[in-house]
Amino acid sequence: MAEELGILVGALLTLAIFSLLYRDNPFYRAAEHLLVGVSAGYYVVHYFYAAVIRKFTVPVFQQGEWWLLPGGLLGLLIFFRLRPRTAWLSRYAIAFYVAAWSGYLIPSVLQERVLTQIAGTIPDPAAAAPWALAMSLLVLVGVASILVYFYFSAAHTGALGRISRVGILFLMAGFGASFGYTVMGRVSLLIGRFQYLFEDLPRALGRL
């Protein structure tokens, strides 16, 4: 019964949100405020429970993992930002976090996002089939010409200008693909709502 009522309320709120497409109105405003309020409440409680209770309070005070205490205290320093006279203390927490994560992130990100990707643009004639080799060459030309387009230390004239124009064509193809996928994503969300209204709602009403 509770699930069916929940689906019914969800359907009414969906229609209230859709009503904005005609024009702004109190139903839309009410649904929007409800969404913001419920989301804020949910996330505050969830983050507090998951981070403070589950990861700090329980291990330190119930399981005796006292070595977590310095980390917790360092985290508390962030709240000193709220008072201008003590704001400098929060920098210790930020400095520790930035330094630790830079050490972790920089080598790994450089390897996986830069070096491996660069290697991926260089075709291997021995391993690739003719069609795959042609595609790899296309990727290579695209990457090189786009990099030329973003080279700003020389005027884009002559050969440099012609190569950068090829880069623009590749960029446009990339933006077009991105736009097409974005349209697909947005239409999918609408499909999801309509499936809710046409499939889930009648099933729920039938069970009531």
Partner 1 sequence: MPAPLAAGRPPRRAGRLAALGRVDRRWIFLLVGASVALPLLRPLHLPIGTSREARAYHAEVERLQPGDEMIFSFDYEPDTMAELDPMSLATLRHAFSRGVRVIALTNYAGGPGIALRILGQAASEHERQYGRDYVFLGYNPDYSATMLRMGESIRSTFPTDHFGTPSAELPLLREVDRYADIELLVTVTASALAEYWVIWAGGRFGQRIVAGNTAIQAVLIYPYYQTGQLAGFLGGLKGAAEYERLIGRDGAGVRGMDAQSVAHLLIVCFIVLGNIGYFAQRRSARAAGDAARDGEA
Query: CB-wise, 143 or 160, nearer to partner 1?
Result: 143
Is there binding between residue 184 and partner 1 (CB under 8 A)? yes
The binder of partner 1 chosen from 29, 83, 113, 207 (CB under 8 A): 113
Burial class (CB in 10 A: 0-12, 13-18, 19+), 149: buried
CA-nearest of 72, 67, 91 to 81 is: 91
Is there binding between residue 195 and partner 1 (CB under 8 A)? yes
Binding residues among 135-174 for partner 1 as defined by CB under 8 A: 139, 174
User: Phi, psi at residue 27, to the nearest 5°?
Assistant: -65, -45
Tell me 7's DSSP state. Answer: H
Query: CB-wise, 9 or 191, nearer to partner 1?
Result: 191
Binding residues among 90-109 for partner 1 as defined by CB under 8 A: 101, 104-105, 108-109
CA distance 143 to 140: 5
Is there binding between residue 177 and partner 1 (CB under 8 A)? yes
The binder of partner 1 chosen from 8, 14, 15, 55 (CB under 8 A): 55
Query: CB-wise, 67 or 152, nearer to partner 1?
Result: 67
- Rounded to a whole number of angstroms, the distance between the first and last alpha carbons of the chain is 7
Q: 146: which residues sit within 8 A by CB, 6+ positions away?
A: 167, 170, 171
Query: CB-wise, 21 or 159, nearer to partner 1?
Result: 21
Torsion, Cα of 97, 100, 105, 111 (10° steps): 170
Is there binding between residue 62 and partner 1 (CB under 8 A)? no
Pull the structure tokens for residue 203: 């099933």
Is there binding between residue 194 and partner 1 (CB under 8 A)? yes
The number of C-alpha atoms within 13 Å of 156 and in the hemisphere containing its C-beta is 16
Query: CB-wise, 77 or 139, nearer to partner 1?
Result: 139
Q: Which parts of this chain interact with partner 1 (CB under 8 A)?
A: 21-22, 42-43, 46-47, 50-51, 55, 59, 101, 104-105, 108-109, 111-113, 116-117, 119-120, 139, 174, 177-178, 181-185, 187-195, 198
